[in-house]
Copies of this chain bind each other. A is one copy, B any other.
């Protein structure tokens, strides 16, 4: 049984493909197709389970009803959760999601953007990295909505949905200080994007506002490319070599590595050092003791992203680019 085309439906209904097309696309009234013809064609479409070929439609109209999602690593729990929420919201509007993981590799990301572009995607949701500015400009020149999230590229004028990381880290460190901590370490990545630096700045500001002095020996910057075992061992070294009473992690996966490190060196969270993680994770709540964390509002982030896309896609005039910053929530779980 061959897949039916619009031609087959037109033949079955004894009308032209133009008429069928108008009916499929809800333009029957506007094009004043008679009710009888509409009924007849709709019946035939339903009986045969005809679905218009989206590839042909896409070639003709330039739209694909597909959104590209480019993140660091789709299996990272933060991105996986965002991906799911975005999928749900996009699905309800008739859009599908095609994804790829950049691994923070600019070459791979550029390649992916070209691949995406050659598929007529309607919009792009990207957690960007430095070095892909030209490719982003290309998409913007094409008038495709581009929404950055998680991270921003300030050189690029496009929409950004993010979280106030400065304040998130400031609040976390402030909580440590209120709790009497004095030797507060920051474990972060060496990725050079504003959103990572903001976390560092928030840490530094809170340290200084709290009357402590900034000690760069307490800040560990983990190279993105290294294996988890290397990361764990760097963290172990830091924790063993310095006097430390509190640790703030700046990402989800670093927190997990940190908890392993603490376990490996047979220390205990809270009795040896207080810990605050980043991005909530089931493992934090199940941990004994429970791990406090800075939580990003995933649902709201996904919602804003999709709304921005739909707004751009539906508006004739180019809407102004928007910057939407949500506050993170500090969840303190382990009262000392």
**Contact among B1, B77, B98 with A98 in the assembled complex (CB-CB below 8 Å):** B98
Q: Tell me if A83 and B75 are in contact (CB < 8 A).
A: yes
A259 to chain B: closest CB distance in Å? 5
Cβ-closest chain B residue relative to A50: B118
Known contacts A91-B100, A100-B91; is-contact A282 B285 (Cβ 8 Å): no
Give Cα A120 to B119, complex, Å.
13
- Which residues 256-270 of A sit at the B interface, judged by CB distance below 8 A? 256, 259-260, 263
Known contacts A91-B100, A287-B287; is-contact A56 B59 (Cβ 8 Å): yes
A67 to chain B: closest CB distance in Å? 10
Question: Which residues on B sit within 8 Å (CB–CB) of A119?
Answer: 54-55, 96
Q: Cβ of A114 < 8 Å from any Cβ of B?
A: yes
Q: Cβ of A212 < 8 Å from any Cβ of B?
A: no
A306 to chain B: closest CB distance in Å? 15
Q: Cβ of A283 < 8 Å from any Cβ of B?
A: yes
Q: Cβ of A218 < 8 Å from any Cβ of B?
A: no
- Which residues 117-171 of A sit at the B interface, judged by CB distance below 8 A? 117-120, 141-142
Q: Cβ of A101 < 8 Å from any Cβ of B?
A: yes
Cβ-closest chain B residue relative to A256: B282
Chain A interfacial residues counted at CB < 8 A: 49
Question: Which residues on B sit within 8 Å (CB–CB) of A84?
Answer: 73-75, 101
Question: Which residues on B sit within 8 Å (CB–CB) of A16?
Answer: none
Q: Cβ of A99 < 8 Å from any Cβ of B?
A: yes
Q: Tell me if B288 and A66 are in contact (CB < 8 A).
A: no
Q: Tell me if A59 and B55 are in contact (CB < 8 A).
A: yes
**Contact among B59, B88, B288 with A59 in the assembled complex (CB-CB below 8 Å):** B59
Q: Tell me if A75 and B81 are in contact (CB < 8 A).
A: yes
Known contacts A59-B56, A118-B51, A287-B286; is-contact A100 B87 (Cβ 8 Å): yes
Give Cα A3 to B99, complex, Å.
23
A80 to chain B: closest CB distance in Å? 4
- Which residues 233-290 of A sit at the B interface, judged by CB distance below 8 A? 256, 259-260, 263, 281-283, 285-288
Give Cα A31 to B226, complex, Å.
47
What are 14 A-B pairs at a CB distance below 8 A?
A3-B142, A49-B114, A53-B118, A54-B115, A55-B58, A55-B59, A59-B59, A74-B83, A74-B84, A88-B101, A259-B286, A260-B285, A282-B283, A286-B287
- What 18 additional pairs, Cβ within 8 angstroms, besides A54-B119, A96-B100? A53-B59, A54-B118, A54-B120, A55-B55, A55-B58, A55-B59, A55-B64, A55-B118, A56-B59, A66-B98, A74-B80, A75-B83, A97-B98, A97-B99, A97-B100, A263-B286, A286-B286, A288-B288
